[in-house]
Amino acid sequence: MKLDTTGMESAAPVWGSHNELVDEFSAAPSFELPNTTDFDGFQKEAIQMVKPAKGTTTLAFIFKEGVMVAADSRASMGGYISSQSVKKIIEINPYMLGTMAGGAADCQFWHRNLGTKCRLHELANKRRISVTGASKLLANILYSYRGMGLSVGTMIAGWDETGPGLYYVDNEGGRLKGMRFSVGSGSPYAYGVLDNGYRYDMSVEEAAELARRAIYHATFRDGASGGVASVYYVGPNGWKKLSGDDVGELHYRYYPVMPSTVEQEMVEVTGA
């Protein structure tokens, strides 16, 4: 089984002559495969445990000034909240961001791997990699691991020579170019708010507020999303974190508790 190991190869040169004894030491490092009869089946339980996950809300959209990327910060295991402070927006390099949905380990590892590959591209070609190229690299890697139980639902957002770029890449190997995406169990709720409020010509503040509201509404309705709504902006000079608001507080900011009207009030009765 040929696994994609580019980006993990060591700098040591491989000698021309093939000597069985030497090959062991100079062969390129690769993943060890378990020695089982049912290679696909034995992981089924693990895959099933991960599959329904993607308990999260992430979104990204392109507008006039660049790309806005936002996500919640909750990690859940079934019904239990394991963390309220997970970083779901991964900084691949100073001008490209990736979002995390699905398996945390999978997303973190493969995004870092992508960052490595992007840097190698820069060094080899003396210019930055485009968002198109970076997303294609990731999509090809994920395609080669198709069916092996990786759970990755990510958006690659960045700014390159052609302007803002946004791609959706998932563990099935799918790759879509688009202007607006939302990924995760809270995505239907986020889409509702995002699609309603979206205009191409918005200012950075308006776009940030739209992204924040969309994440907030998703955390309100979806049980698997919550914590902190982080909003990042990707512009011509790279990405910048705009805000990280606790959604518990955002609720009372958007819907403050009004003192209710008094229907019946008890009054002191003077005299007898």
Q: What residues make contact with other proteins under the rule CB under 8 A?
A: 55, 72, 74, 76, 78-81, 84, 185, 219-227, 247-248, 251-252, 257
Q: Which is nearer to other proteins, 76 or 99 (CB)?
A: 76
Least distance between other proteins and beta carbon 252 (Å): 7
Q: Which is nearer to other proteins, 52 or 174 (CB)?
A: 52
Least distance between other proteins and beta carbon 185 (Å): 6
CA quadruple 22, 24, 30, 34: dihedral, nearest 10: 160
Q: Two tokens at 214?
A: 């969309």
Decide if 232 contacts 242 (C-beta within 8 A).
Answer: yes
Q: Which is nearer to other proteins, 18 or 253 (CB)?
A: 253
Question: What count of Cα atoms within 13 Å lies in the side-chain half-sphere of residue 135?
Answer: 26
Q: Which of 56, 57, 154, 219 is catalytic?
A: 56
Give Cα 224 to chain centroid, integer Å. 15
Give the three-class secondary structure for 218. helix
Least distance between other proteins and beta carbon 85 (Å): 13
Q: Which is nearer to other proteins, 20 or 263 (CB)?
A: 263
Measured distance CA(123)–CA(231) in Å, rounded: 31
Least distance between other proteins and beta carbon 235 (Å): 29
Residues in the chain: 272
Task: Please state, as a whole number, how many other Cβ atoms lie within 10 Å of the Cβ of residue 255.
Answer: 9
* Residue 162 annotated to the active site: no
Residues recognised as catalytic: 56
